[in-house]
Amino acid sequence: MTRSVQDLFDLRGRVVVITGGAGMLGMQHAAAIAEAGGHAVIADLSGELAAHSAAEITRTHGVEALGLQMDVTRKPDVEAMVAAVVEQFGRIDGLINNAALTVTSGSEGAARYFASFEEYPLDLWDKALQVNLTGMFLCCQAVGKMMVSQRAGVIVNIASDIGNISPDHRIYEGAVNPHTGKPFNTPIAYATSKAGVINFTRYLATYWADKGIRVNCISPGGVYAGHDPQFVKNLTQRIPLARMARVDEYRGAILFLLSDASSYMTGANLIVDGGRTAW
């Protein structure tokens, strides 16, 4: 039986957990899920922000969302999150591993986060790996057990264009961080951990293929958020579409990967970067 395109993208009744869900892109993912009829679970380091964000999604889209406090690097937090979701909805159909250590979420401060490779702090390297990779490992492990018991589930890991290529360090020439007014870069810990996400995805895709669980990742390009004009100029000269992404431009890709529209797709890395990695 051939299903309609509308049906393929339908998430009605499905429950999807989003780590780092109260952040800029996390909220976009939640909105896409809710617009398709699904229940978004916004799991975030800030329980207050998660609850507020879930209430906003529920109010705006008319589909129940849930906000939960969770530190992805703490196994008890992750397990408690899974238990709370199952208690509320009875199942977990999808997981978006969106949480990542960034300059805005890292408590160490921008100066240390953007340190040169020669001076990069070991504790920040360790923390980036803990959040970006170990956190993903813990979430996939806990949610995956639920999906194995259901013999169904979809996992979407958020990688980066910089997980596929080395950052072109020339794009930072003459540019400053709008938060600090000082020079910045793509930290070694971010680039390395995002590359790890891609092969982590392939591993789980093959490991769980016979359990009805699909695992893919998306490699987004940079989203414009008030960046330094010189940086934008330097970067967009290296992007075939000649611009950074708008904040809402990953909704379609996320919905595609979560829904039955991608039912014959696992172990894939969907690159959505304006063509930056094409040349």
For the annotated catalytic residues, the residue numbers are 190
Structure tokens at 250: 């990953």
Give the integer Cα–Cα distance in Å for 264 and 214.
9
Token pair recorded at residue 65: 């969302």
In the block, tokens 């979420």 appear at 105
| Cα–Cα distance measured from residue 226 to residue 50, given in angstroms and rounded to the nearest whole number | 24
Residues with Cβ within 8 Å of 181's Cβ and at least 6 positions away in sequence, in order, are: none
Cα angle value 185/186/190 (rounded, 5°): 150
> Which of 191, 92, 70 has the alpha carbon at shortest distance from 144?
92
Contact yes or no for 175/235 (Cβ under 8 A) = no
Separation in Å, CA 5 to CA 151, 196, 209: 24, 33, 24
User: For residue 90, what are the contacts with CB-CB under 8 A and spacing of at least 6?
Assistant: none
Please count the other Cβ atoms lying within 10 Å of the Cβ belonging to residue 261: 17
